[in-house]
Structure 1
């Protein structure tokens, strides 16, 4: 800082730099200085000690001192001024502001503040100061002097010198400025303010303006001879620009929240029609009516479901709504799960998948489902951007405290200008109009965010078009105990046949309710349906269901209220199990449904086999 100040101030003045307050006092006693610029924090004797030394010495007491400090609070500034500083500047500061303040203080020093203005003989110094300066005198604040800079930036002209300030600007009556100027003259304590609001007349209306001001007292031997120097710079444009930026920031944040709410609602509305379609297909499968065309429909619906899930994942991740449920797991378990997720596309495109990783020894502390989603997205990306029947290799190794996983394909590669962009939202390589690769360009963005939530990194490498791509994920290696051996998947339950357990299905989408009714009747359950809360309550009184499958977004009364009413009116000798089957699937929705009494929460479109398992477990 000392070197910087020496270089900056040395462009205009002769500067002597010393390391601490003790050296400064010694130099001041040996040589004459027009100004001292002192840091508050110095070794041996600090800035306040230097001030006390200067002010206690009659020969040095009038040397102006500008204090520099990192303390930005109002208390710190007041403490500096009360200790005797003439000005107080907070780090970091603008070089122009420092030069302006030093120039002012040097000019005031040269004016000789204990001598009447008409005897100073240095009017030219005042007049040519590079910043606006006005000298005001007496309780009426008479304009005594004004330099050329002030004349060019205010309504004061040379014919108005000798006129009280409030005659020049009557709109200042009742505002803070006149009283602040008088207070400085009375107390001798300088006043500094950033963005001081002042209302000034502009035509026929008052206009709010903002000013950075310094009001400095002029010391005089006579108590009746009081003057104040006003130094001011208008910053209205800067204040308005900052406020516009703040308003724009709020507007953007609001738009972002609105976007997230829209995505959540869009996901709910898209899931509603998907659910009965998938249920109908599953019912056809159970009845042995499945055909090749229906297989195509199921594949396309599954694809649409993944797109909806990607949209909602992006919304949750960008808002920090994803909570990781970490445990000690092997990378082999994660990769196995990800291959299971990506297998439909891998099989559809007849890719040859090779793995090169040990079953044990590569443990990480991670959320299995979310990390499996990462590698499933990378595998899906490799499958989409590789020709039919291509080779994809997944390998893993330990190195430098990390577990490194590589997903290598031999597909279309990535152009050099896209390498740094592929992990952005909605980013895809250029495609022809048929968009044969599909997708929304969200998979890699989701993968990157989830990896970073695990304190890891992911990077893409490619030598260019037609050379293939390698995605490399690095995750912190786990230390300590080995994870439990949990690499086997749960087997699917066989078709459920129950002793006529009763199910009440409540959904305002009649197709969805009807499809669930058909499906569970095929599985041996007694099923009744309702399309709103009042109907459900009426049916439940006589039907006495064992399980109620409730949509949340119902008309008349929502699913949460209906759940409470059903539990209140149920036969106390019979159990009633509530399951939410809804398009609302965010963390807050799950917490709310649990609080309302739901024992499980399934998000549409629901896999019928999963719903079967949930119901069977509840009624067994």
Structure 2
């Protein structure tokens, strides 16, 4: 024995195991006499020195001594062999590592026989140190151990385990390969999943078998999308649940791991887009039979599942985006086709309107009364404006459809450009601006499409006039190499930098930008870009707010596509562009005769940015009222401060202070809050009217309108005896976000003027009756409500006309509640009606949040009757909205 009776090292050890830590104490207590190396006392000095060296090292070391490969190892090595320690002390190395000896035998025997040390990085070694056949990796060096006589007496090995590093690198490569495969089939969900699953086959050790199941919108459950490592038909094609999927893999008997051991375990991981997101499928992954399913292995599986979930989510998002883009493209094509069809259809009636007017002016113009001639001239010039809009739409449609092309002919571009700019000289001077045209001869022939170049120049110069209030406009043309450069610079309001990228997009307008007029289609600059592109050129803009803008068009000098038919000159349509909507060109001072001198004449202030509309309204209203005009809300306020009008007739959309801004300014000033305001606007539809009445307007009329209706409404407004009492607070203006702020009062329709005659015969006073109904929030409830209201009003004794108006107004309010209220907490509406002593009060209540109606939902102006017979109030709240109609 090597130990004394108390377990302490025996004197024969000579302190050999004293500094060997735990293993030193175990070796000191070991019965070496029964081992092939014999008692410690008989050990040669070389063995003692080798053992001492092993035990003193903190690096994993082992010594196999003699023909029996007797093992000596230190504490660091003991942790590598796991459960084989401490039985491996003094045992035969070949027995201890029997399962891995096939990999170790060669290097060990070579070191001992050839006396050459080995170096083997990442040696795959099978170990059974944790109760199963484990895949491990070691970096190891074997060296000969010499005896006292200089001959090889054993083997000395130094090793370190690198299993975790090898597995991490291998799994990282696989994750990279899977991620790379995910980006190869963007938008194709099935192809993406197949490519990613195929990439898993690159690491059969960590992923011996795998399958992906995805949900589909059209079918319940999950369907197999891809599989590797087995016959896909061996796995279920569809799943209603994933509970038995892992067990199905265990029953396949698939080989796995480095030594082909059967795969008996698998994991099923959900594929989800994140917290709260719906599950898109599951990932089935087999587990390496030679690796424990530890935390690192589970993390690797979760990362794989995350990549699949992300790829599927991205593919579906891309497909949805592509579907939306295709739908928008289809909508765009439909809109383009619609514009083309409408534009074509407009040309015939336009021709039949303009040609007779032109003929009448040409044939009988001098003999026509001045007023008639002016009206025909007004109609003709606005017909030309409409024709230009139609032509622009058609040209843009043709360009988008790919049917337009530039037909270049030799053109004296300098003279033609100067003449085109001169077309707008009169309009520029009337605006108080300076127009400078610098177009010297180019010295070389230029080839352009004259009609397209005409639109380019006129659009740019007209835009400059529209957005410039002081200073001037400079138009220049010069040759630059093989190209010609047109510049249109102004000292106008400028364009914010954030708006520049969208400036040449169709229908885009710079929000809040001051202009002489709000009129236009938003196609001008988009058309310029398209026409320049058809010439193979480019257009850019440099602008600074408050300083001005410079548009630069560069087109190649080009080559002829056809022979020129003569010098290029501005077309009739171009000359029509010289009359801009803000110009007061026509003199309409010769108004029809009005009332006799000295008769009281109410004053009407007309506010509109279109000069022709101001002139038309002045002539229309002058026979009955004194008419003053303003082209914007700001000068209108100045005019009102100078002399108070009896009524204000205003447009809504104006470049400076718009109609709503003017209305708010009047209503917030005690000195002007009682002035009636009537709005004229091109914004047709019920919501526009609701917004106006909620802001406090007295009446609202959409364009186009009948002159008789406008006159009648002005008479009605001026003839009403009721006015807002001083000090009574007015409702605040309607916020832009109509749905978020709840409903607003439904607009009234003025009643027709009362004919003076015999007073009507008195009728019996209505009786007191009440009614309350709860109806489903559906359109089918409106007819039922109509029948109940008629019965109630008949029972109350209301006259037929009043009952008819009340029924119509209430049904309109109910229809609004049904259509506007979104996600109601209760799926019905409540209607309460009460008739007491001739007073009628009706309340319509819904239980949802309101949203604004779109144009397709608009039924016209029938709802304006809601206020025709009394007062309308609306009380919005998060729980619903109540609209009350009160009539006396």
Q: Tell me the TM-score normalised to structure 1 length.
A: 0.43
Q: Which structure has the larger Rg over C-alpha atoms?
A: 2
